[in-house]
Amino acid sequence: MTQVGRVAEICRYPVKSMGGESLRECEIGAGGLLGDRTWAVRDEGRGAIEGARTIPSLLDCNARYLEGASLGDAPVPHLTLPDGATLRADEPDAAKRLSEALGLDVTLWPRLPASDLDHYRRAPLDPSRAREQIRVMFAREPDEPMPDLSQFPPELMQFATMPGTYFDAYPMLVLTDRSLSTLAKASPDSKMDARRFRPNLLIESSEDAPYPEFEWTGRRVRVGGAVIRIESPAPRCRIPTLGFADLPKDPLIMRALVRETQGNLGSYASVEEAGMVRTGDPVELL
């Protein structure tokens, strides 16, 4: 085993695309961090589960659990709306209040079984504007290459998230502080912050590579008591360029990403062995 860093921060996002919570410890199971992305927002106008790519104001909402790290089979997050109002996701008027806050007709949903395919089905693109819509989704300029989506599971051509989950592709995203600082040097006028990239694990890297996690692709990594497999670099959509909280809107971030890494930052991971992870735990290549 080779130690390549330590866990600097553990981040969990109970509702897809809303702000989340920073934890001192959390169990990693087959579905990633316990309680991560257990709920999502459905845009009733589009008839599909959507995130901040199409509903940017979701980033101004926050979700957390009051129960702590030991959650039951059906945890219910507590939401904070942009005006500071709070509510449980399962309250009878939760969808109405969230719709009013977002200015959009939405509903809130816990994860449904993978067999409920219609729930997870992607809203269709306009065939006459599909390429343009994808460019907007991934914040690419006309002269920039489109993201390489061939590494994603083929199901994502039909479904907004992997059926049975609210993950875009894989259950975990890891990011090193070294990658973040490298990107900050490439875009010195940007306010670079890990919150823009929504990692589950922010790793304090001990390696010299500019983007260390890219070099771990295909490798098994022990993180505390769990073992994950680094599956691929993570193609970034427009979310890191959006403004929320104290972070300004910044299209220069995507320009730097395209120049530096073909638009990738951080890496997707699957889980091979469940276990507890704590801040400060060593990160080791197996």
Q: Containing H/E element for 79?
A: strand 78-80
Query: For the chain, what percent of residues have pLDDT higher than 90?
Result: 85
The tokens for 81 are: 């709306």
pLDDT tens for residues 26-48?
999 999 999 999 999 999 999 99
Q: Which residues pair with 79 in a beta bridge?
A: 63, 87
Closest CA to 15 of 46, 47, 51: 51
Determine the average pLDDT of the residues in 273-284.
Answer: 98
Would you say residue 78 has pLDDT above 90?
yes
State residue 103's pLDDT score: 96
Which residues are CB-neighbours of 175 under 8 A, at least 6 positions away? 194, 197, 199, 201, 202, 203, 213, 265, 266, 267
First and final C-alpha spacing in the chain: 5
Query: Of 66 and 55, which is predicted with more confidence?
Result: 55
| Number of domains making up the chain | 1
**Distance of alpha carbon 223 from alpha carbon 236, whole angstroms:** 24
Query: Of 72 and 150, which is predicted with more confidence?
Result: 150
The enclosing domain of 42 has a CATH number of: 2.40.33.20
pLDDT tens for residues 224-267?
999 999 999 999 999 999 999 999 999 999 999 999 999 999 99
**Mean pLDDT of the residues in the chain:** 93
State residue 71's pLDDT score: 56
H-only helix segments in the chain: 94-102, 117-120, 130-137, 177-186, 252-261
What domain range is 198 assigned to? 2-285
Query: Of 96 and 71, which is predicted with more confidence?
Result: 96
Query: For the chain, what percent of residues have pLDDT higher than 70?
Result: 97
Query: Of 126 and 82, which is predicted with more confidence?
Result: 82
**Distance of alpha carbon 286 from alpha carbon 256, whole angstroms:** 32
pLDDT tens for residues 138-181?
999 999 998 887 878 888 788 999 999 999 889 999 999 999 99
**Distance of alpha carbon 195 from alpha carbon 20, whole angstroms:** 9
| Helices 252-261 and 177-186, axial angle in degrees (round to 10) | 110
Range of weakest confidence among 69-73, 109-113, 158-162: 69-73
